[in-house]
């Protein structure tokens, strides 16, 4: 069983990003830029690197480009602002060996200040009701389980897309809906960093709340109006502390309408 990291990134001019991340495994890099379309492959520290340059935009599209080109047993989603823990490849492969029924495994991570961002203190089954809190860099999966179920990333969501975030959560949700066995485990595999500003978050503004509403409609369908209202109440001290609650909910409803009216 082998692992391949699937890195979605942009505007990289060399592979120093791999040193920053501490990559010690095979990796596919999909680098979006406006200058060229190119491909190269080479060996680095005894591992295979396949590097693609695309003159495109959109995280969902970028992740799909990597997924379609992978040949590994296990894939790990990656962003360019993380630092991997020593031995992360072994941790991930052993988790799949210990959990042979698992198609997707969601790992714990450390925040930039070193605090453990733990969503699982023990192995737990992830269902539709609790899948919304697992971001992309936590996600590893058996490639064939995803491919044979025709699962891919929603290209409307994520940095550079119509809606600025959520392609990773939608991916996990789709896996569950297609019957894949999804679990979360307590093992930590990486640390987030403050290397760069967010590619999608520009504050709690109307766009943030509209995209929040759109993603919730994608998750909950016609229940999205109620779901967004409840989530805004839960997050009001963080999300709406400096923004009027009723305006935030109005923008969320506007986002729901925008997604519903897509043709």
Query: 55 lies in a domain?
Result: yes
Query: 198 lies in a domain?
Result: no
- Give me 169's structure tokens: 């959560």
Q: Give the domain extent around 40.
A: 3-192
Q: Are both 59 and 180 inside the same structural domain?
A: yes
* Calpha distance 107→210 (Å, rounded): 29
Q: For 47-96, what is each residue's pLDDT tens digit?
A: 999 999 999 888 889 999 999 999 999 999 999 999 999 999 999 999 99
* pTM for the full predicted model: 0.88
Helix, strand, coil shares, percent, the chain, to 5: 40, 25, 35
Q: Are both 186 and 211 inside the same structural domain?
A: no
| Count of domains forming the chain | 2
Q: Are both 148 and 88 inside the same structural domain?
A: yes
Q: Are both 93 and 214 inside the same structural domain?
A: no
Q: Are both 236 and 187 inside the same structural domain?
A: no
Q: Are both 76 and 139 inside the same structural domain?
A: yes
- Give me 148's structure tokens: 């044979």
Q: Which residue, of 144, 168, 192, is where some domain finishes?
A: 192
The CA distances from residue 11 to 65, 82, 183, in Å, are 16, 16, 34
Q: Which residue, of 157, 192, 227, is where some domain finishes?
A: 192
Q: For 195-247, what is each residue's pLDDT tens digit?
A: 665 555 667 788 888 888 888 888 788 888 888 888 888 877 777 667 788 88
Domain holding 84: CATH number?
A: 3.90.550.10
């Amino acid at each position: 069983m082998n692992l391949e990291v699937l890195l979605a990134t942009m505007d990289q001019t060399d592979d120093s990003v791999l040193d920053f991340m501490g990559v010690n495994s095979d990796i596919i890099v999909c680098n979006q830029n406006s200058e060229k379309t190119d491909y190269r492959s080479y060996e680095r520290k005894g591992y295979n690197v396949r590097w693609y340059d695309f003159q495109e935009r959109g995280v969902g599209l970028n992740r799909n480009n990597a997924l379609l080109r992978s040949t590994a047993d296990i894939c790990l989603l990656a962003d360019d602002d993380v630092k991997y823990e020593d031995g992360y490849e072994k941790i991930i492969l052993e988790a799949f060996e210990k959990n042979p029924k698992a198609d997707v495994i969601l790992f714990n991570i450390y925040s930039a200040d070193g605090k453990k961002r733990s969503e699982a203190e023990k192995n737990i089954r992830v269902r539709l009701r609790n899948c919304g809190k697992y971001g992309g860099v936590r996600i590893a999966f058996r490639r064939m389980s995803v491919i044979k179920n025709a699962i891919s990333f929603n290209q409307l969501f994520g940095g550079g897309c119509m809606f600025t975030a959520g392609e990773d959560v939608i991916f996990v949700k789709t896996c569950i809906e297609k019957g894949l066995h999804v679990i979360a485990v307590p093992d930590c595999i990486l640390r987030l960093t403050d290397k760069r500003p967010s590619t999608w978050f520009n504050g709690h503004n109307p766009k943030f709340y509209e995209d929040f509403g759109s993603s919730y409609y994608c998750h909950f369908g016609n229940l999205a109006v109620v779901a967004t209202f409840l989530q805004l109440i839960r997050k009001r001290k963080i999300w709406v502390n400096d923004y009027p609650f009723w305006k935030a909910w109005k923008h969320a409803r506007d986002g729901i309408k925008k997604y519903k009216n897509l043709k």
